[in-house]
A and B are shown apart, each in its own frame.
Chain A
Amino acid sequence: MVEYINLFIKAVFIENMVFAFFLGMCSFLAVSKSLKTAFGLGIAVVFVNIITAPFNYIILSVMLEKGALSWIDPSLADVDLTFLSFILFISVIAGTVQLVEMIIEKYLPALYSSLGIFLPLITVNCAILGSSLFMQERAYNLPETVVFAGGSGVGFFLAIVALAAIREKLTYSNVPDPLKGLGLAMLITGLMGMAFLSFAGIQL
């Protein structure tokens, strides 16, 4: 149990998707102008992440890994299809996002209209594909994958909500014109990243 809590804390704070690996930067910068949309996108990312990473894990272990196909025929035990993982992972993610989009459109129309074009953008959000790829590279098992995916989703949520809150305040401050918008957002993200560095080494 303790190691799962450790993994979760690590994924949220120490190896935060945004501040330590720069994943999900595009939507992180584009959607963080208002707190409300940032909140919605953060929730959507957590949700999609928790669904796709375990699903990708199952695909990886049942179909792609070396020896995984031996349940069809023993002669297939040597087949290693891991090179197909990129294509399958991204297809699963694209399909899931489409599904989530339809569900939100049906049951939460207010959220749907405020998220607008950003829902399809989750497909190309590196944080989602990133957690599937980290899962493959670090060889997590199924419960670890779920905890890690949840943790990295929550980490993204935390980061985007914090940045949106700061940027809402910043609209009233007096900064040099060329630095307005993107430039300032980058510098602030850097400062927040430095703050998150102080979590390094924490273990429960």
Chain B
Amino acid sequence: MSRLSSCFERVAAENRAAFVTFVTAGDPTHEASREIVLGLPAAGADIIELGMPFTDPSADGPAIDKAAQRALKAGAGMHRTLDIVRDFRKQNDHTPIVLMGYFNPLYAYGVDRFCTDAAAVGVDGLIIVDLPPEEDEELRLPANAAGIDVIRLATPTSDDHRLPTILDGASGFVYYVAVAGVTGGKSATTEDIKAAVTRIKSHTDLPVAVGFGIRTPEQAEAIGRVADGAVVGSAIVSMIENGLDETHMPKDGMVKDVLDFTKKLADGVRAGTKG
């Protein structure tokens, strides 16, 4: 069984949702980013989404855009992102890692070579936000052959006509983007999210994780009650930004502050047991 499937099975047995964290690989520096990622499981992360920095992240809001630019300035790139995963796997073989980003850096790396290398270091899934189902075959087939799930996104604009297209070929889990917008923007109501998750689940047996607009332990708890996973990205990334000095170098205690904040969110999700 894949790490993702085992993870969702385990949290379901605990009657709760999976806590999914997002940080950008290499933000603010390779070393600090590595330290954060390696510390996430102990801070309660069930699944780690690791952003692959891109110069033009047109689906992201300011927090994650700035994180990508910081990382690139500090020398981040596809090889170093895989290095972080490799280091992580040396000490953790059960927490799933999903790489998230845009297609161009992966395409430049070479799709087949990337899938082979990513599988070798222990990547479990890929979310490529500018690769909709109509265009993802060139990545999905080699990724699946290498044992990597390509996670599809459903959104508030995915009606019942669109959903089958999204779910055909989906694996791992379904990522429900709770608001029409960029990352770090508005929040949807729990009622709307519950209705959307129920609708998606009527089309698929895959777990449904919800992201966009979850910033506080309270929100994480509420979403955890109605979904199989709650994703927090911009709020954690903003904590990293808050912990930097004027030269974008981490101040003392930045990593600890980020992981402490993550722990609070994780406690929120764990409090959100299903009724």
Chains A and B are bound partners:
no
B residues engaging A (CB < 8 A)?
none
